[in-house]
Amino acid sequence: MVKPKLSWQGIGISSNPFQKEEPLSLHLQAYLEEAADSAENHVLVIADRMQVTNYQTIYGLTQQEAERIALRKGKEKQKNLERILRARRIRNVKVLRFTDVYGPEQEATLKAVQEIYHQNLEIREAVTKCIPKRLARKAEDLEMAAEYALTEISLILSMEGVKFGHEREKNYDKIALMINQKYGIGNMPQFIYSKKGLEFVPGRDAPVEPYSSLVSKDRLLLTDSKRQFKGKVDGLREDEAEKAVLQLRKDGMEEGEEPSGFYERTIAPTRRELRKPRRRLMGIAASMAAGLIGLVSVAGYVHEDAKSIRQSHCSQISIFGLNGDINTCYRAVNDAITKANQDIQAKYHLKNYFRTFENGKQAV
């Protein structure tokens, strides 16, 4: 079978704006590799801004705050996907954000799809079923919650290339195809579905999307250490072990390969790439700490030298200056400190390093 020139897929972000970090599952990596192999060139579209209406209607955020959070999450997701691709040496995939692909054609298609949604009861009911029940129950405005699905459908109809996806996206795909065939809107959509499918997570009744934001202590992650990975595999219940092995096979573990060997070959390189920025920051922090230590050492040297300069000038005070009345003594000492300060300023560019005395007290 000849590969298409171009394929694309959507990658979601968490529907919870307050989730600080999104897990990067092992299955996501295998899914991306499969997607990259689906065409000569592949595009990942991060559906970040698409979550804005969900953040508004489910969590009551303002549009400005919802956009800020969604775009921040999208930027972080983009960076992580690019790191995974680098670690796996995948070069035919480009990671884009929603705003990178959303132009006049997509906007016009969305408006047409929205109009059909409001006029056609069959389409309206089908779109409403695309809204996850857990989100629909929380939404204050179901019309606003439907915007995610409508935008997804409009992308399917307006994006170039074959859409790559998994079975959970088939409802969107069917609606897009129905609209194209019945109303002639957009491009005739084409689809490729993942053979690796969804991800099995121990303790879950239903599988999840590879890019799901599900947080689970049993989920195999690309950020797991070797010890964490081994603990998760060894801790599987007997009734889940077979499913877990099948999942590891989908994720690239070879027949007869030990989990430790699989970890070193498949997870460790990606984990190192994902941790690089943190290491760089730690390196910068270490350099700054070393610099501060150096500054402290330099400051200590300057202070000791300055004291030596002051002592040199004070030792030159005549015996008459020290044996006179108290004011004469202060004047003699202040003259010595002033001369010392002048020498210190000339040498280190530090003005008035030592304080002089006024009325028996050292002046500020």
Q: Is 244 contained in some domain?
A: no
Identify the burial level of 87 via C-beta atoms within 10 angstroms of its C-beta, where 0-12 means exposed, 13-18 middle and 19 or more buried: buried
Question: Is this prediction's pTM over 0.85?
Answer: no
For the ranges 60-74, 94-108, 134-148, 233-247, which has the lowest average pLDDT?
233-247
Asked whether residue 36 carries a pLDDT value surpassing 80, the answer given is yes
- Is residue 92 a part of any domain in this protein? yes
- Of 213, 229, 246, the residue that ends a domain is 213
Report the side by side order of strands in the sheet with 6-12.
93-97, 41-47, 6-12, 162-165, 191-193
Helix (H, G, I), strand (E, B) or coil at 353: coil
Contact between residue 343 and residue 309 where contact means Cβ atoms under 8 Å apart? yes
What pLDDT was estimated at residue 322?
Answer: 55
pLDDT at 335: 83
* Mean pLDDT value across residues 202-209: 93
The model's pLDDT over 10-24, given as tens digits with 9 standing for 90+, comes to 999 999 999 999 999
Question: Residue 331 — very low, low, confident or very high, per pLDDT cuts 50/70/90?
Answer: confident
In this prediction, residue 295 carries a pLDDT of 47
**Is 344's pLDDT higher than 90?**
no
Least-confidence region, from 34-38, 133-137, 177-181, 349-353: 349-353
- Which residues share a beta bridge with 193? 165
Residue with the larger pLDDT of the pair 296 and 259: 259
**Which residue stretches of the chain are H helix?**
26-36, 52-59, 63-87, 98-101, 104-119, 121-130, 133-136, 142-145, 147-158, 170-183, 226-234, 238-250, 259-262, 268-314, 319-323, 326-348
Tell me, yes or no, whether 203 and 347 share the same domain. no
Residues of the chain with pLDDT > 90, as a percent, come to 72
Q: What is the pLDDT of residue 278?
A: 55
Is 273 within a domain? no
Can you tell me the mean pLDDT for 217-230?
Answer: 96
Domain that holds residue 169: 6-213
Report the candidate in 81, 77, 72 with the shortest Cα–Cα distance to residue 52. 72
14 lies in a domain? yes
Q: Is residue 257 part of a domain?
A: no
DSSP string, 20-58: -----BHHHHHHHHHHHTTSSEEEEEEE-GGGHHHHHHH
3-state secondary structure (DSSP) of residue 103: coil
The yes-or-no verdict on residue 172 having pLDDT over 50 is yes
- What is the residue-averaged pLDDT of the chain? 89
| Structural contact between residues 123 and 179, judged by C-beta atoms closer than 8 angstroms | yes
Q: What is the pLDDT of residue 364?
A: 40
Domain presence at residue 336: yes
- List the structure tokens of 203: 């303790």
> DSSP string covering 204-254, please?
-SS-B-TT-----TTS-BTT--HHHHHHHHHT--HHHHHHHHHHHHHTTPP
Burial of 239 (0-12, 13-18, 19+ CB in 10 A): exposed
Direct distance between the N- and C-terminal alpha carbons of the chain, in angstroms, rounded to an integer: 86
- What is the rounded CA–CA span in Å between residue 230 and residue 324? 84
Whether residue 203 lies inside any domain: the answer is yes
pLDDT for 294: 54
Residue 71, token pair as written in the block: 């775009």
Give the number of domains in the chain: 2
Q: How far apart are CA 48 and CA 72, in angstroms?
A: 9
- DSSP structural state of residue 199: B
* Span 310-329, average pLDDT: 67
Domain boundary among 213, 232, 261: 213
pLDDT at 359: 52
CATH number at residue 75: 3.40.50.11710
At residue 239 the predicted structure's pLDDT band, cuts being 50, 70 and 90, is confident
Amino acid at site 28: L
Q: 7 has which bridge partners?
A: 42, 162
